[in-house]
Structure 1
Amino acid sequence: MAPLKLLQLPEPLLGFGYQQRMEHPKDGLFLFGPLEDGAHPAEMRIGVIGTAAGIGHFKTWAKRIRGHIPSANPDAAHHASWPGFEAVFETRWPERPITEITVDASALANAIRIENRHEAISKAVAIFEEPIRRYLRQEEAPPTMWFVVIPEDVHRFGRPKSIVPRGERVKGDARLSRRAGKFVLEMGSLFAEEVEAAEIYRFELNFHHQLKAKLLDQKAVIQIVRETTLDPESFVDDKGRALRATQDPATIAWNLCTTAFFKSSGKPWRLADVRPGVCYVGLVFKKDGTALGGANACCGAQMFLDSGDGVVFRGAVGPWYSEADKSFHLTQAKAAELMTLIVEAYRDMHGMPPTELFIHGKARFSDDEWAGFSSAVPAETSLVGVRIRPTSELKLMRLGKTAVQRGTAYMVGERLGYLWTKGFIPRLATYPGWEVPNPLLVEIHRGEADLARVMTDVLGLTKINFNACVFADGLPVTLKFADAVGDILTAAPVGDLPPLPFRHYI
């Protein structure tokens, strides 16, 4: 039996302003600020849309984040006080957004309670979508990003399995049932009114995904946020207890402000030691219940560069899902088509193809798939296919009270191993979890690469989630948002979309 080969990979460092390096995003931003970049915004250009009450909650929060917010627990290393937006990002947060759009609270409350759930979500989305579209058509200098502030009812009833209590339901005016609408979409109709009435069934039953998908053609960057997140103190019961458990105000500020800065074209941080010319691609597949004909899934890809920037490519809708092996695979032609988009986009940005291109997926790549990918990559590019999936098939314990350290790697062979991206973090002096941490199975399935280097890359990619400001995630960014991106791609029949920056999807 081969000896157990364990490695402790070093914690990847992040790059910040003044070419400084730190392990923790909050440390780096607090001490040195974000990356110095030509796209660094001098001032946040924010638009906000919501009910009158929602805009009021946003203003309360915006005033708060311009100043200091104390830590919820000064003795805990994983809690940090919030120094203020300009102190962190060296970007001014104005006292007023550049535009405020007020929506009718009563109309929104009625729309989200309509009996037909497709009609309910479609009409609730339209209450926000149409004013944003109208503003973008009329104004020459639109906001860089929008805050869409939603009441708790929209969050509660705007999801696929949400049920409106019978006594609160509102009668709508949908002329076709879901079954009849699906039939019309599949088979067609001689009556234009029926085709129009069936249109609502082409969209996913999810307010968040549908609104983002419908605004992709406008290239609008939006952040959907609940009123209770912005101003939890205003939502309490008769005994003064919070109606909803939220993070503490300082943590909310760190997370939401990092997202807002990133979505406004800022670069909070980057991996400090990524090799020049490397490109990481995460495959995106999503079963599409709205697809017509024999198609059953949508494919796409997320490309992440050494800077941490991401671009999303929407592939074709087709019969990519196999019930036989419960996995997704592309044909050779579609794999080549998708990879051509990726390589050409990289070439447009850098003037040359990548020197290393890693494709991350949750399943092994089929022969046809890999032949397609390989045919679209120039000879000077090293192409490597890596399978990554969480697993509970192996547990690793160590003596003492603390969990296995993050960055521990068990090398089963030259092409397969287990990597603990969750675990005890010395910088935080704790393991931010409750259960024994599970590893990621990492397998070099196609191509040639050093397994320790691949694992080091994966560990680094767990630290460039700009949708929050946390030490690290459990999954690399190439896979963490695959489902979320797939949800947006399939939420609406968006047609042909150009490659869009990652900020449009998260």
Structure 2
Amino acid sequence: MNIRYIPEPSLQFGQGQHLCPKAGIYDYHPYDIGQVRPDKITIGIIGKPEDVDTILEWLRDCKTHIDGKLGKHGAASHPNLFLNFCGFNKEIGFKSEIVYDDGYIRKLNNSDFKDIIEKSSNLESRIEGIADLYLSEIKFLTKNKRPDVILCVLSKNFLSLVQLEENIYEDDYEEDNKGDEATEEDDNGNREQNFRRYLKARAMQYNVPIQMLRESIAKPISGMQDPATIAWNFFTALYYKASGTPWALIRRDSSDSTCYAGISFYRSRDNKTLQTSIAQIFNEVGKGVILRGEEIKVDKYDRTPQMSEDQAFNLMSLSLKEYFDAIKVFPKRLVVHKSSNFSPDEIYGFKQAAKQANIFQIDLVTVMPSNLKLYREGAYPPLRGTHLKLTETRHLLYTRGSVPYFETYPGMYIPGPLEIRLFEHDEAPNLICDEILALTKMNWNNTQFDRKFPITIECARNVGEILKYLHPDDNMQLKYSFYM
């Protein structure tokens, strides 16, 4: 065994490189500056009248500087972690602005909500009824206007009616310790009910990404993130959903191209079938596609979900074809991340699909949580980037932990490492682990860069959560912006 420290990976921005997404955008602007990009983002906005007014006022306030989180004595509290927000305008940072007029504002009647609540016999009918109010206005905006992103504002009282738990703007950051709390079963106990997932799935048919947000983000209460962090996360996600590229991985060689794919399995809402989703097979700048796989049969003696040789081949072949259609070139290298072990059939199927596309460099990597832990002297946990080689094909990697750039450990619980298992690898194990650490920074929904899982795995899970709410004959969107 040997141990090493992987320095925090930098990201590429429009006019320079930086460790931190916030500071990078602040100082060097988005990656796509100087290219075709969303320098104006046209929004639609839907919600109750008082909630819409609150969010519109907040959006106006966010045009200018917002101070970072302050400590107990008024001084900046870990300024690198809680960086002040630069403002969303054309002069600094994103160098973009929000535009809309009264025709893009669609206000829902309080009486319509009350009527649905009184007449709903169970949670499912309540969720579908309220979602229909939003979907009707989404349809209107997409048919009669040209929004880049539609904001669906949810009131605080409304959230309790649909039992929605949305953690995007809350302070509880241990996403890897959470299960699937944001789901409920109906009165018959056999179907998952989740308002956020249902609305995102049903809204896909209108071909415009939606952003759901609470009206309470305008005046954060205890337990929520500070105002500057909320603004950073919201406007980064908004910029990405409007087809912008906030930042990108740094390529080792401009002549090389690497394609990253994440495989994840998800169950149907009634828990009766198991399907697979391949999430965002993408390149270094996050451009790529999402596809839905076939139903998986689970062996009664081995409950680990696995694809057949044909399923693995078909899924990867179709994914690479869609990737080519989007990027206009096949990659030279394919990296596949999966949250469970690769079976021999899966390995053969993936390799054959890669070979068919003239890709001869392939890495098949399992990325999963580990119960093993390392300890260091002092009060702080191991550094993020700590890499322990157990064997040539088994490694431990701390993607959460103490972060020198933040000058603290920004978590609430003792972090655990990921276990990295190399089933097939043409690249060096050290480089594969370096990439996994860098890929944890490619989540455009959150600007605190010490995520636990690489975007390949995190995206795959998010996609599966939404896909289960689509009917088999529904068209799905290929872009990740519809699932975040």
Does the TM-score normalized on the shorter chain lie above 0.5?
A: yes
Whole-Å separation in 1 of the counterparts to 2:225 and 2:101:
25
**Runs of 5+ in structure 1 lacking a partner?**
162-176, 183-200, 233-241
After superposition, give the CA deviation of every residue in 1:63-112 in whole Å (9 maximum; x if it has no partner): 11111111122242311111211222001223757601111123224424
1:40/1:265 contact within 8 Å kept: yes
Task: After TM superposition, list the pairs within 5 Å mapping 1:217-256 onto structure 2.
Answer: 217-232=205-220, 242=221, 245-256=223-234
Who is 1:93 aligned against? 98
CA 1:371–1:154 in 2, change beyond 3 Å: closer, same or farther?
Answer: farther
1:111/1:123 contact within 8 Å kept: yes
2:27 aligned with 1:24 = no
From 362, 373, 388, the counterpart of 1:383: 362
2:130 aligned with 1:150 = no
2:43 aligned with 1:46 = yes
CA 1:245–1:251 in 2, change beyond 3 Å: closer, same or farther?
Answer: same
2:241 aligned with 1:263 = yes
Who is 2:179 aligned against? none
After superposition, give the CA deviation of every residue in 1:470-503 in whole Å (9 maximum; x if it has no partner): 1221110111232221110001315253651110
Whole-Å separation in 2 of the counterparts to 1:408 and 1:435:
17
After superposition, give the CA deviation of every residue in 1:155-185 in whole Å (9 maximum; x if it has no partner): 2232489xxxxxxxxxxxxxxx9769x9xxx
Who is 2:169 aligned against? none
Structure 2 letter corresponding to 1:381: F
User: What SS class does the counterpart of residue 196 from structure 2 fall into?
Assistant: helix
Who is 2:138 aligned against? 132
From 426, 432, 436, the counterpart of 2:404: 426
Structure 2 letter corresponding to 1:10: P
Whole-Å separation in 2 of the counterparts to 1:245 and 1:97:
34
Task: After TM superposition, list the pairs within 5 Å mapping 1:140-219 onto structure 2.
Answer: 141-159=145-163, 204-219=192-207
User: What SS class does the counterpart of residue 38 from structure 2 fall into?
Assistant: coil
Who is 1:331 aligned against? 308
Task: After TM superposition, list the pairs within 5 Å mapping 1:273-292 onto structure 2.
Answer: 273-274=251-252, 276-290=256-270
Task: After TM superposition, list the pairs within 5 Å mapping 1:405-484 onto structure 2.
Answer: 405-484=383-462
**Runs of 5+ in structure 2 lacking a partner?**
71-75, 166-185
Structure 2 letter corresponding to 1:134: F
Who is 1:365 aligned against? 342
2:117 aligned with 1:120 = no
Who is 1:33 aligned against? 29
Moved more, 462-471 or 444-453: 444-453
CA 1:445–1:425 in 2, change beyond 3 Å: closer, same or farther?
Answer: same
Whole-Å separation in 2 of the counterparts to 1:179 and 1:248:
40
Structure 2 letter corresponding to 1:306: E
- Residue 467 of structure 1, CA deviation: 0.4
From 82, 87, 98, the counterpart of 1:84: 87
Whole-Å separation in 2 of the counterparts to 1:69 and 1:17:
23
User: What SS class does the counterpart of residue 373 from structure 2 fall into?
Assistant: coil
2:10 aligned with 1:8 = no
Moved more, 333-342 or 372-381: 372-381
After superposition, give the CA deviation of every residue in 1:210-232 in whole Å (9 maximum; x if it has no partner): 11101112222000111112344
2:288/2:323 contact within 8 Å kept: no
After superposition, give the CA deviation of every residue in 1:361-388 in whole Å (9 maximum; x if it has no partner): 1111112222222222224332221001
Whole-Å separation in 2 of the counterparts to 1:411 and 1:223:
41
Whole-Å separation in 2 of the counterparts to 1:285 and 1:76:
38
1:159/1:205 contact within 8 Å kept: no
Whole-Å separation in 2 of the counterparts to 1:468 and 1:404:
23
2:200/2:210 contact within 8 Å kept: yes
- Residue 347 of structure 1, CA deviation: 2.1
2:17/2:28 contact within 8 Å kept: no
User: What SS class does the counterpart of residue 85 from structure 1 fall into?
Assistant: coil
TM-score, length basis structure 1: 0.83
From 395, 399, 402, the counterpart of 2:373: 395
From 97, 100, 108, the counterpart of 1:103: 108
- Residue 319 of structure 1, CA deviation: 3.5
User: What SS class does the counterpart of residue 132 from structure 1 fall into?
Assistant: helix
CA 1:289–1:366 in 2, change beyond 3 Å: closer, same or farther?
Answer: same
2:164/2:196 contact within 8 Å kept: no
Which entry has the higher C-alpha Rg, 1 or 2? 1
CA 1:98–1:255 in 2, change beyond 3 Å: closer, same or farther?
Answer: farther
User: What SS class does the counterpart of residue 146 from structure 1 fall into?
Assistant: strand
After superposition, give the CA deviation of every residue in 1:260-314 in whole Å (9 maximum; x if it has no partner): 11111111111123553101100121111348xx744353332121112342112
Whole-Å separation in 1 of the counterparts to 2:350 and 2:477:
18
Structure 2 letter corresponding to 1:27: A
Who is 1:236 aligned against? none
Whole-Å separation in 1 of the counterparts to 2:164 and 2:17:
43
User: What SS class does the counterpart of residue 44 from structure 1 fall into?
Assistant: strand
Whole-Å separation in 2 of the counterparts to 1:98 and 1:459:
44
CA 1:249–1:438 in 2, change beyond 3 Å: closer, same or farther?
Answer: same
1:147/1:224 contact within 8 Å kept: yes
CA 1:301–1:469 in 2, change beyond 3 Å: closer, same or farther?
Answer: closer
2:141/2:147 contact within 8 Å kept: no
Identity %: 27
Structure 1 letter corresponding to 2:28: F
Whole-Å separation in 1 of the counterparts to 2:160 and 2:470:
21
Structure 1 letter corresponding to 2:415: P
1:50/1:150 contact within 8 Å kept: yes
